[in-house]
Structures are given as C-alpha cells and as structure tokens.
Amino acid sequence: MDLSQQTQYYEPGSQSQYNFPDRALQINMNSAHLSQDSTFGTANVGGGPTYGPLDPSIHHCGCGDACTCGIDCCCDDQLNCFSVPEPGQAKWKELAQHVQQQVHSQFEAQIQQRVDETVAAELAQLQAKIAHLEQYQAEKAADTKAAHSSTKMPKEYFEGESHLCLQDLIKVAMLGLLGMPDAKSPVPGPLEDDAVPRVNEQGDTLHNPVWAGQKANGAQPLVIAVVNLVWRNENDSRTLPEEFGPLNDEIKAMLKKAAIQHWRTKQRRWLAENTERGAAQLVHKLGWNGRYQRLKRLADIRRSVIAQMIEEYGAENCVGLPALIHSPWCSDDDGEGPGQANPEQWQDRRLATGDPRARERLRPEWRSKKQDRIFGLLDTLARKAETKAADSHVPIGGRHSGKKRSKDRRRSQYRVIRFPGFPENSSKASPAKRTPYQWSVNPRWRQENNYECVPDPAEFTIFNLVIPDEHLDREALALLAGVAEDDACLADDEAEKD
C-alpha cells in the first residue's frame, strides 16, 4: 500500500482531540489544518513548523501511540490516523503551543465580535426607548398645552355664576359621599382599624378620608368618587349651564379641580376641629383671604373707572394704566405668592436692620406723589360713580352700592397696599417683594435706601399725566396730606436720632 493510502488528512472543522506522547498535553484542534505533502514527505500543522521526512513504516493514530498492528489503527478513531514522524518531546510541545495560540486567537476574535454585536444591539434598543420616551413627553406636553389653550368657554364662565353652579354640584356630591347632612355638620374623620364602615340609607359605603398628613390631588379616592358621581349624574340629567358646551375632557378636568379644592376645604375644617395647629392655620388663612379679597375689591373698583378716566384724559395720555391695576396688583405682606412676604420674613428683616417698624405697610414714605395722585384720581372717579349708582341701586366695581364703608377703613386699605406691578417684576430678595416702577417710589426714599426699581417703560404715558388738586375729592386730598405729614414725621424722627 502506497503512502497516499496510508495517510489520512485532518478535515477543517472537525472536533477531534489529540493526545500527544507525553499523555498530558491535549490540544483542541478545532479549525486547525493539518496537511501532508506526499511528494516531499513532510507534515505541516496549521501553518506551523514543518517536520522532517515521514517514515511510512510507522503509523500514528489519534491517541498518539505508534501502531503495532500494521495498517489498522490500534484505537477506535481510525479516521484520524495519520503518518507523522516521531519527534522529540520539545518539538511536540512547540507544535502544541502554536496550535493553542492560533485557536485562542480565533476564539477571542469570535467572543469580541459577539460582545460588540450585543453591546451595539442593546445600545440601539436603549436609544430607541429614549427617543420613544421623549416623543411621549413632547406629545403629552403638547396635549396639555392644547387643552389649556383651546378652551372654548369664556373666562367669566370659570369665575361667574356658571362656575358657582359647578362648585355646588361638587359640594352636594361630596357631602353625600361623606354622609354629612349639611355643610355645617362636623367633618367625619378616619375610622379605627376595627371599626365597621359607615353606610347611607341606600346601603352605599361612605367615605372616611385620612385628613392629617394627606395632600389633595386627583388620585384621592374621595376626589375620584365625587367626579365620577357628578359625571354620571350629568350624563343622565344635564344640570350644568349650556354655556359649558357638551360634556368633554375639559369639563371633567374642571370637575376634578373643583373637587380637589373642596377636599382641601374639608381638610382644613377637620384639622381646625381636631388639632391646635390646624385651628391656627385656619385663622391665618381666613385672615389672609379677607385681606386679599379687600385688596382685590379695591382693584376692581379702580378698574371699573378706567374707561371713564381714558375718556376724560385721552387714551394717548393713559397708556399703561390698565397694566398698573393687575388683579393681585398689590401684595399683602402676609401673603405667600410671588412677591409676597410672610410675617416671619418681615420679622427677620426687622431684626436684621434694627428697624422697629417691622412691616412695610407702616412705612408710607416710600410712595411717590405721582402714584398717590393717579390712584387718588381713580378713587375719586369711583366714589362719584358710586354716588350716582346709589340712586339706581346698581352695583359698582365688585361691591354693592348699599354697603357703606367708613373713611378710616377705606384709608386703611389704601395704606396696606404695597408696590403695584406684575408678578414678573417680583424680586427674590429677602423678604420677597414685587419690584415697583421708578415712578411709583419716592426718589428721596429710593436713594436713601438704595432700593432697586424697574425702569419705567417708555411707552407708558400715564407716568407723565399731570393731575391737579381740583380733580381730586376731599378724601384723596386728605390722603395726600396724610402722606406729607408722615414724611414730615419721618424727618423729625431722623432729626431726633441724629
């Protein structure tokens, strides 16, 4: 039998494992190529070193032992039997190291390729999720903005009698779900753990919310129950005014907002009835509401005569006047909104500056004569209109003509007014306040106190309007005189200190 019949070639991709003469070195020859050159009688393993001439009389099988049975292999793996020289121990180790390095390099390349593919796939999935989340947030923000901007109902339906009708629906529904006979009944508190739930006459379970430590939001069970109850009733029998239009998501959002507000009202009542802190907070809240409502009514009264003032003095001379009488155009010193300071902040300011006059409303010297004359003229026109309307019993500017007010009370309201201006003019100083325009602050007081003001808008011609004393009534002139006296008293006090 010739050499070609005696020699078998190793096929690439086979999973054979070869035991070399030392019986301890095993090489995984996956993807290794073992070829034989029958012409020159040499063996080449995986492109490695070439060993000497083959001895056809010695056959080597896959187990690494020389065959003693002639052509047949002594082991079971006859397909892997090949003729190779029987080199020394060092050459076999060199061959094994070369094959091992080649196999390891191939495995490392495959592993690195798979890792790169996995990382790239996961990164692509993560980027897709981020893009989807950004798109969802953008769509949600656009929907929210569209819901607020596409309201078809006029503003008066949110603040007038129609809004009161909506509040009444929420109020009645919440009283029923709480099991309260009327609005003056005690607010039910939370039940004990082993208490039996309360039910009404129809057998429906009543609500016992946990008022303490809870915040009002759209997820409150009582709020959800109230909105669903009103929504079902409105679908069965419509009671809302037709001005609201068809029942849609906007109406449901209004119901939820009113329910949250009424939930807060009930919470304040329960806390006031059961905790000392709640009672103190309720007193403070009621006082703040009273002051704010008085200031708002005063702004409404002045706003009601803007058209008359523009007609008498000319529109070109009254540019900027409506902007000066904003709804919260005057910040109460006990407020908590933009440009408003609470009593603690004023107390800190008093202690920091050493000024015994803790609150700014006790310091009328900051006001300019120009501001006092403009508001004095508005008050004069409002009082004249009120006198005319008293005969016809027509309400003027947010208060009924039949309701009398003392001069002292009206004057005290005027003195608690702080700086007029928009919330955009708010200063983040301590205490927080609304930064006024330069025209509204006394120049001398501004220089002495180094007070920051907003520059006067050039288009506001109202700042240049000249108002003579003849156009003001007695109360307005008395108020101007009182401010002058306060300035004189301040000068005397400063002289005494010196």
Dihedral-angle region of residue 392 (phi above 0 means left; psi in -120 to 50 means alpha; beta otherwise): alpha
What's the pTM? 0.41
User: For the purposes of burial, counting CB atoms within 10 Å of the CB of 193, is it exposed (0-12), middle (13-18) or buried (19 or more)?
Assistant: exposed
Highest average pLDDT, of 10-19, 172-181, 299-308, 489-498, comes from: 172-181
What is d(CA 312, CA 176) in angstroms, rounded to the nearest whole number? 55
The answer to whether 390 touches 464, Cβ cutoff 8 Å, is no
Q: 339 and 214 share a domain?
A: no
Give me the residue label for tokens 């007038």. 160
Q: 217 and 364 share a domain?
A: no
| Band of pLDDT at residue 340, cut at 50, 70 and 90 | low
Residue 120 belongs to a domain: no
CB contact burial 249-275 (16+ within 10 A = b; e otherwise): ebbeebbbbbbbebbeebbbbbbbeee
Q: 344 and 476 share a domain?
A: yes
Dihedral-angle region of residue 472 (phi above 0 means left; psi in -120 to 50 means alpha; beta otherwise): beta
Q: 251 and 308 share a domain?
A: no
pLDDT tens-digit map of 418-473 = 444 444 445 555 455 556 777 777 787 777 766 667 788 888 898 889 999 999 99
Q: 93 and 160 share a domain?
A: no
Which of 250, 274, 298 marks a domain boundary?
Answer: 274
* Residue 54, token pair as written in the block: 């083959």
Query: What is the H or E stretch that residue 51 is in?
Result: strand 50-51
Residue 213 belongs to a domain: yes
| Band of pLDDT at residue 342, cut at 50, 70 and 90 | low
State the DSSP string of 261-277: HHHHHHHHHHHHHH-HH
Residue 303 belongs to a domain: yes
Give me the residue label for tokens 């005014």. 241
The answer to whether 35 touches 83, Cβ cutoff 8 Å, is no
Q: Which has the closest alpha carbon to 399: 413, 416, 415, 419?
A: 413
Residue 147 belongs to a domain: no
Residue 112 belongs to a domain: no
Alpha carbon 312 to its chain centroid, in Å, reads 47
Average pLDDT over residues 383-412: 55
What is d(CA 281, CA 283) in angstroms, rounded to the nearest whole number? 5
Q: 347 and 468 share a domain?
A: yes
* Confidence at residue 471, expressed as pLDDT on a 0 to 100 scale: 92
Average pLDDT over residues 338-360: 56
132 has a pLDDT exceeding 60: yes
Q: 28 and 168 share a domain?
A: no
Computed over every residue of the chain, the mean pLDDT equals 68
Which of 274, 297, 321 marks a domain boundary?
Answer: 274
Query: What is the residue range of 167's domain?
Result: 156-274
The answer to whether 166 touches 258, Cβ cutoff 8 Å, is yes
Residue 231 belongs to a domain: yes
Q: Return the higher-pLDDT residue of 112 and 78.
A: 112
Highest average pLDDT, of 206-210, 339-343, 489-493, comes from: 206-210
Average pLDDT over residues 63-70: 48
Residue 131 belongs to a domain: no
Which of 56, 78, 102 marks a domain boundary?
Answer: 102
Contacts of 342 by beta carbon, 8 Å cutoff, 6+ apart: 334, 335, 336, 431
Domain count, the chain: 3
* Confidence at residue 435, expressed as pLDDT on a 0 to 100 scale: 64
| Band of pLDDT at residue 309, cut at 50, 70 and 90 | very high
Residue 33 belongs to a domain: yes
Q: 90 and 195 share a domain?
A: no
Q: 296 and 264 share a domain?
A: no
Q: 298 and 407 share a domain?
A: yes
Q: 174 and 200 share a domain?
A: yes
Q: 188 and 296 share a domain?
A: no
Average pLDDT over residues 232-239: 85
What is d(CA 77, CA 283) in angstroms, rounded to the nearest whole number? 99
The answer to whether 377 touches 476, Cβ cutoff 8 Å, is yes
